[in-house]
Amino acid sequence: MTSVNTTVLIVGGGPAGLLSGMLLDQLGIDFVIVERHADLHQAPQAHVISSRSLEICRAVGIDDASIRALGPDPMQTRAVRWVDRLLGRDLGVFTLGSDPGEVHRMLTQSPTPTTNLSQDQFEQVLFGRLAETAGAEKVRFGHRWEGFKESPGGGYVSTVVAGDETLSISSKYLIGADGAGSRVRKACGFDMVGPDNIQTFVTVHFKADLGESLQGREGLLYWVMDEQVDGVFIAHDIDRGNWIFMKTVDETENLEKLDEARFAGLLREAIGADVPHEVLSLNSWRMTSQISSGYRKDGVFLVGDAAHRFPPTGGIGMNTGFQDVHNLIWKIGMVEGGMDAGIFDTYEPERKPVAQTNSEQSFHNARKMMEVAVQLDANGDGKITADDLTAVLADDSRQAAVQQAIDAQAAHFNMAGLDLGVCYSGRGVIEDGAPPVSENPVSVYLPSTTPGARLPHAPLERDGAPISTLDLVPYDRFLVWTQSDADDGLNAVVAELTQQGVPVSLQRLSEQAGIQPVDDSFAALFPSNEVLVLRPDGHIAARVPANQAAEGVARAIGQLWSGA
C-alpha cells in the first residue's frame, strides 16, 4: 500500500474540487485531489456561470473575458423560446435583458456579469489554472475514494484505489466535493432531505450544424411543448453545433438500459427535420431538491452537489457550490494560522440556509413553468397536442395569455438577488442590523455594507488602472477598510494585531493612497464615516464608526479571531 501525506484531501475533481485546490494553493496549504473518473467531464452539464462565481474566478487569476471568449455569442443566448419543434414554430419568447433597468443593474452590480459556458469547458479552464499555479499532478484522475477512518493522532486516513494500486492518504482535513452520490457524505452518516425524484430525464448530447436553420431564431433554451416529444433543447453553442436535448420519461422506465434507437428517433422528431447530427452520449438522471442533513463532521466538510442538489431551473447549483468553497477554504487557512477552530462552526449555519433558499426557488421555478403549459393546453384535457398548439397560434387572445405566462418566468432567468445578496449572520460576523431587502429579492440585489453582506462592487482607479472594490480584498487575511488618510490609532491597532499573529492589513481608499472612485457610485455605497472589517471571502465582518475606528476594529477582529 502506497502512503501519501497531505494537509487537505479533496474528493472530487469537478468545479468545486478544482476551486478548493486553487484557493488552498493561494494560501500555501498542501492538498491532493482524487477524482474517480479518468479525465474531466467530456459532456456539457451546467452552463450558467453567475456573477459571483466569475468574481471568485477573477480572484484566483482567471479573467472572466477568457471565459466569455470560449462561450457562445451573447447575442445568441438572449432568447428563451417555447416551440412546437426546434426548427418549427415559436409559441412565445422570453428575451433576457429586455428591461433597460435590469441591464443597467447587471452591468453595474458586479465587474463580471453572468455568462454561459458549458461545464466541461469551464472545468478545462479551472484545471488549466490549477495546473499553472499548483501543478497538474495535484489532481489524481482514476482514483476512487473508498472511505476513511480517524487517525489516532488526529486527522483522517483515507483508502483510495487506483487500478491495481491501493493508496493510504493521511490528511488533517477532508473535503467531499464528490457530487450527488457523495461517498464522503454517506461515510459521515448524513442523509439527503427533500424530494428525491421530482422528474426523470434522458439527456442526449449531440452535434448538429443548425446555425443557418435557426438564423433569426437563436436562443439559449428551446422548450418543446408537444407532448409527443416534450423536452428542452439547450444550445450550449449554436455556432459550434454543441447541443443537449433533455426528454422527460416515465420514472418506471428501465434507465439502466436505454433504447438508443428510440431516443434517436425522438431527437429527430423534436428537431422537426431530418438534419445531419451525431449523438455523442445518452444518459439518464433524476431531478431532485435535496439538502444534506449535515455539512460538517469535525474536520470533514461537504461542498457543492455533495451537500445539495437542486432542480436545474435557475442554473445556480454549480454556482452555490462555488460559494460553499469560497466560504470554507479561508477558514481552514485561518485555523492553520492560529485562529480559534470554532470558526468551523460557522460553515454549515452560513451555507445551509443559502442552499435551502436556492433549492426552494429552483423548485418554485420548475413548478411555475407549468403556467405556460396550462395556457398552451387549448382544450384543457391535460395534454398538449399539435392541435392545441395550432389552436393557440390561431387565436390572438390565447397567444397573449401564453406570452403573459412566459413573461411571468422572469425569476427563472434572473436570480441576481440570490447570487449577490447573500448575507451571513452568527459567529462569523459582528451583527448590527438587517440588510435592505427589495420587493423582488430573487432577481433584484440591493448593495449594502451591512455586516454579513458581500462587499458591494464599485469601479475604482488605482494609479490610473481600472479595478473593482472587490479586487482589493485579499484571501489570506482580514482587511480593514477606511477612507481616512490619517488615523494613527488605527495604524497602531493593525500593527499590534499583526504582531500577535493575526493576518490583517489596512486599506486606505483615498486619492492620497492612489485609489480614486470612477463615478458617484462609490460615495453612494460607502459612507465616509464607516470603517469596515472584511473577511477573506469578501463578506463584511463588521463596521464601526470612523470616530471609534481603533477600538472598534480591535474589538471586532479580536472577537472573530478568538471566538470570545
Average pLDDT over residues 266-273: 95
Shortest CA distance to 318 belongs to which of 453, 166, 123? 123
Model pTM?
0.96
Is the per-residue pLDDT at 86 higher than 80? Answer: yes
The dihedral through the CA atoms of 416, 417, 421, 426 has a sign that is negative
pLDDT of residue 337: 97
Provide the Cα torsion 190, 195, 199, 205; round to 10°. Answer: -30
- pLDDT at position 305: 96
Q: Are strands 515-517 and 504-508 parallel, antiparallel or unpaired?
A: unpaired
Among 328, 341, 326, residue whose Cα is nearest residue 295: 328
Per-residue pLDDT tens over the stretch 489-532: 999 999 999 999 999 999 999 888 889 999 999 999 999 999 99
Burial degree of 152 (CB within 10 A; 0-12, 13-18, 19+): exposed
Give yes or no for residue 275 having a pLDDT over 90: yes
For domain 73-111+199-287, the CATH superfamily is D-Amino Acid Oxidase, subunit A, domain 2 (3.30.9.10)
Report the side by side order of strands in the sheet with 478-482.
504-508, 478-482, 530-534, 540-545
AA identity, residue 107:
L
**pLDDT (average), residues 426-443:** 93
For the residues of 76-132, what is the DSSP string, one character each? GSSEEEEESSTTS-EEEEEETT-SHHHHHHHHHS-SS--EE--HHHHHHHHHHHHHH
User: Which among 232, 224, 228 has a CA at the least distance from the CA of 204?
Assistant: 232
As beta bridge partners, residue 244 has 205, 234
In terms of Cβ atoms closer than 10 Å to its own Cβ (0-12, 13-18, 19+), residue 546 is middle
- Rg of the Cα trace of the chain? 25
Complete DSSP assignment for 438-484? -SSTTT-------TTBBPPP-EEEETTEEEEGGGG--TTSEEEEE--
* SS3 at position 437: coil
The distance of Cα 352 from the centroid of its chain, to the nearest Å, equals: 14
The predicted-structure confidence for 121-148, as pLDDT tens digits, reads as follows 999 999 999 999 999 999 999 999 999 9
DSSP tag of 423: B
pLDDT for position 326: 98
| pLDDT tens string 9-26 | 999 999 999 999 999 999
Sign for the pseudo-dihedral over CA of 328, 331, 335, 339: negative
| Contacts (Cβ under 8 Å, ≥6 apart) of 256 | none
Tens-digit pLDDT profile for residues 253-265: 766 778 888 899 9
Amino acid at 134: A
3-state secondary structure of 365: helix
pLDDT above 90 for 45? no
Average pLDDT, stretch 280-291? 90
278 phi, psi to nearest 5 deg: -130, 120
The domain segmentation of the chain, as residue ranges, is: 2-71+117-194+290-363, 73-111+199-287, 370-408, 431-562
Residue 538 CB contacts under 8 Å (≥ 6 apart), including other chains = 55, 59, 454, 455, 470, 473
Q: Are strands 156-162 and 144-150 parallel, antiparallel or unpaired?
A: antiparallel
Dihedral angle over CA of 106, 108, 112, 117, nearest 10: 20
CATH of span 431-562:
3.40.30.120
- The strand pair at 231-237 and 308-309 is best described as unpaired
- The answer for residues whose C-beta is within 8 angstroms of residue 464's C-beta and 6 or more apart is none
The reported pLDDT for the residue numbered 458 is: 97
pLDDT category, 252, cuts 50, 70, 90? low
Q: Please give the grid coordinates belonging to residue 393.
A: 397560434
pLDDT 10s digits, 147-180: 999 998 899 999 999 999 999 999 999 999 999 9
Phi/psi of residue 293, nearest 5 degrees: -65, -20
Band of pLDDT at residue 426, cut at 50, 70 and 90: very high
Residue, of 349 and 97, whose pLDDT is higher: 349
Task: Fill in the amino acid letter for 332.
Answer: I
Q: Of 3.40.50.300, 3.50.90.10, 3.30.2010.30, 3.50.50.60, which CATH number belongs to 2-71+117-194+290-363?
A: 3.50.50.60
